[in-house]
Structure 1
Amino acid sequence: MKTWVRDNKGFIAFMLMFGLFRTAVADWNPIPSASMHPNLLEGDVVFVNRLAFDLKVPLTNKVVTHLGEPQRGDVVTFYSPSDGTRLIKRIVAVPGDTVSMENDRLTINGQPASYTLPSGAVETLGNVGKLQAVQITEKAGAAEHRIQLLPEIMSDKRNFAPMTIPPGQYMMLGDNRNNSADSRYIGLVPRELLIGRAERVLVSADIEGNWHPRTDRFLMALNR
């Protein structure tokens, strides 16, 4: 064993440095589910900037210093406050915001979000099959992006009463609003559980088809 370590010390050092780089500077995140449709698809691999918000001690959630402020509209990776699962969602409310939802429509700080340009789509759910989906553009303040609704899904999570986001907490919602386990289920997310900001799709493949590369999505920026 000692001989193997001595003969491969350069490789071992490289792997250690690479591991530290991934946990402290930059990372990538495969998209495993439909919760961010229509903007992120299963088979996308996104680049995550771990220095967007905080500098942390490698391999921990201990924050050394703040480097930037999470903004409404940021797509972020984080650890679920419920069970520690690594998730990717969009920030819809930051500390100090008062946010509510009525029939899937957001109101932030007394200003209802606007919704325009509907288009049809089809969503396939595991034990349900194919459902009609509606994709619309949601604009809440400076944040504007497409979201998806599933009118056939009955859920009490389409509504919640006004709540003010406390210091150091963030509300996360999936863009696929009726098929996302987000802050409506797992609660608000503390800042120390944020991993980083997802900034672009690195590569993409049709994992539900023939694994054909979706080259039109390579290096696609994730706009707010």
Structure 2
Amino acid sequence: MQRLTRLLANNKGFLTFMLCMFMFRSAVADWNVVPTGSMQPTIEVGDRIVVDKAAYDLRVPFTHVSLLHRADPQRGDIVVLDSSAAGERLVKRVIGVPGDQIALLQNHLYVNGKAAEYRFTQVAGIRDDREDPALYAMENTGQLSHAVRWSIAAQGHTRDFGPVTVPPDQYLLLGDNRDNSADSRYFGFFPRNEITGRATRVALSLDPGNHYLPRADRWGAALR
């Protein structure tokens, strides 16, 4: 017991620093490793993303208890959430906010009855394309524009969803990799209080398919 007391006393500064760092990461800002391709091409496998934990709420560290409500997620935000339905932490894009009517018809998005516009684009460097060739397009709803990925192998399959109306205090979230994402089409709407922050940029990126070598062009890249 005396040895433990002495150890704590001798390392008080370091322990205080570590506690403050963990509290900061829990309540203010954090970084997360993205292990799956559900948000490709926006977020690649192996990206380390910066998460603004105070974007929507100031919370009691290590809890979901909100001390101060700052804002609500908006369409197009890339959010991080601790999903009870999925049983894990997810990174997805907000597609529908409370009151929105959302539908997918052959993977084309409709928001409140208005069809999104699509412009095909080229995306290079997605390793999954070697085994699962894909089409890429810029999806524009008038309020936001971002790239989505469609698997060529899934073409011709029924990929319809909804229409559904987003209930109060719930959000409809989808992955940008539309044919390879477990999201609101599988888990339903996600509660507001499970959303813990907004992903803002890539801190650094290591390619797990290439000996974890860095992808220097992605370091510091803003997420849109």
- TM-score for both structures, normalised by structure 1: 0.92
Moved more, 148-157 or 107-116: 148-157
User: How many residues of Structure 1 are paired with residues of Structure 2 in the alignment?
Assistant: 220
The structure-2 alpha-carbon separation of the partners of 1:116 and 1:85, relative to structure 1 and needing over 3 Å to count, comes to: same
* Corresponding residue to 1:79 among 74, 77, 82: 82
The match for 2:198 is 197
Moved more, 170-179 or 78-87: 78-87
CA distance in 2, matches of 1:74, 1:38: 15
The match for 1:46 is 49
Q: For residues 42-74 of structure 1, what are the alpha-carbon distances to aligned partners after superposition, in whole Å with 9 as ceiling and x for unaligned?
A: 111010001111111111111222111211111
Asked whether the equivalents of residues 55 and 63 of structure 1 are also in contact (C-alpha less than 8 Å), the reply is yes
Identical residues among aligned pairs (%): 41
The match for 1:14 is 17
The match for 1:32 is 35
- Provide structure 1 residue ranges, at least 5 long, that are not aligned to the other structure: none
Q: Secondary structure at the match of 2:196?
A: strand
- 1:142 Cα offset (Å): 0.9
Asked whether the equivalents of residues 120 and 132 of structure 1 are also in contact (C-alpha less than 8 Å), the reply is no
**RMSD of the alignment, in Å?**
1.8
Amino acid at match of 1:7: N
- TM-score for both structures, normalised by structure 2: 0.92
1:125-164 aligned within 5 A: 130-153=131-154, 158-164=159-165
Q: Give the structure with the higher percent helix.
A: 2
- 1:83 Cα offset (Å): 3.7
- Provide structure 2 residue ranges, at least 5 long, that are not aligned to the other structure: none
CA distance in 1, matches of 2:79, 2:39: 11
- 1:145 Cα offset (Å): 0.2
The structure-2 alpha-carbon separation of the partners of 1:23 and 1:155, relative to structure 1 and needing over 3 Å to count, comes to: farther
The structure-2 alpha-carbon separation of the partners of 1:222 and 1:94, relative to structure 1 and needing over 3 Å to count, comes to: same
Runs of 4+ in 1 over 4 A off after TM superposition: 120-123, 154-157
